[in-house]
Structure 1
Amino acid sequence: MGTQLPFGDELRAELGEPEGSLRLSSSPRSRVWRVELPASTVVVKQLVDGPDADERYAREVAALRLAARAGTPVVPALLASDPGERVLVLEHLEHQRPAGDWIVDYAAALARLHATARPDDVGVLPRWQGPNQADVESFLWLAGALEVPVTPAVSGELDDLVARLDRAPGDANEGVASFVERRTPKYLGR
């Protein structure tokens, strides 16, 4: 997969011919472009090759489809996809400065997102892989590079946290679906 805009024939037939694109900065695990189409501006995201690229792509597509159930949007809409190239075409949202009480809107959006889960969604998302020892080492390295003081106990606490997360049963989707099934009548008036 190269750095050229991955917008194949099927995407062109569905969404139209790109009129222009601008490569945006992104994580090393993806490539992102802002693309002008005849009807709108979109974001094209391609997950790059790697040992878990197909799983990351499947997780992101599934999560976007589940989140799309929210009555008021909580994520950009997934407009189209190309699984062969691991490409997502997303609604483009203009940047807006958050309001002073942004935390309230964030909490409300998070609640709407969690309310989209249903008991039959268990297993829809691939099992989440928590942080591991490499993540602990990376975090400690970053703290050192930023000259943030780290007490000797922090490394042990992070190791313990990684071990606890590794032993946690099920997955986030399963837990949310179970919670929603038990609490939906009370909290959402159903």
Structure 2
Amino acid sequence: MTDPNLWCIAAYFSLFVIAVMQSRSLLWALSALSLWLAAGGLALWLAPGVLSPFSLSILYMPQLYIAPAGMLFLFLRSKSLPDRSHYQTACPPLPALLAQTGTAMTLAHWLILLLAFLSYPEGLTPRILPSLLDLYLLQPVYWLAMQMLLMAVFLLHRKISRQPANVFSIRQIQSALLIVMFAQTVYAFSGLFKPLL
């Protein structure tokens, strides 16, 4: 087990389990489990006999089900503060940061995919789409590194603002969305310079 991707997957699962235990949110765990089973069912339908919910290929993409489930967690566990521009998640910092950054990264990826599909078949879309799918489904090291970096930026921002780490604003999510969109676009365009097989 020397593959760094497998180590990142194990780290991501560990972070998720710790976050679920700290937040005591069974709903987050159940929604992630449901998305995992749905992804496994879809894979089983697309490639019967090759893929299943328990195959390494499906376990290889934890961001496919943990990050979207974090959106539901963030939506249900956050309450507006009196200033109406900030929200506070009723949990310790780790679950809040994991859900906030997962939300920003997932929304950014979906937005980039949507923009690429809107310009299809013109331009570079046929080469960019596989690169974006490679990033989302097959690059857990990149995904986890970007999410950890965003979590550190969010935590630093809250320390500077002298607010708890479980407080966030829509502007903070929007800023993270722009940062992630830029990083993912750079990754997608770097795929243009790889030779075609």
Higher strand share: 1
Same fold (TM over 0.5): no
TM-score by length of 1: 0.28
TM-score by length of 2: 0.27
Q: Which protein, 1 or 2, shows the higher relative CO under an 8 Å CA cutoff with sep ≥ 6?
A: 2
Higher helix share: 2
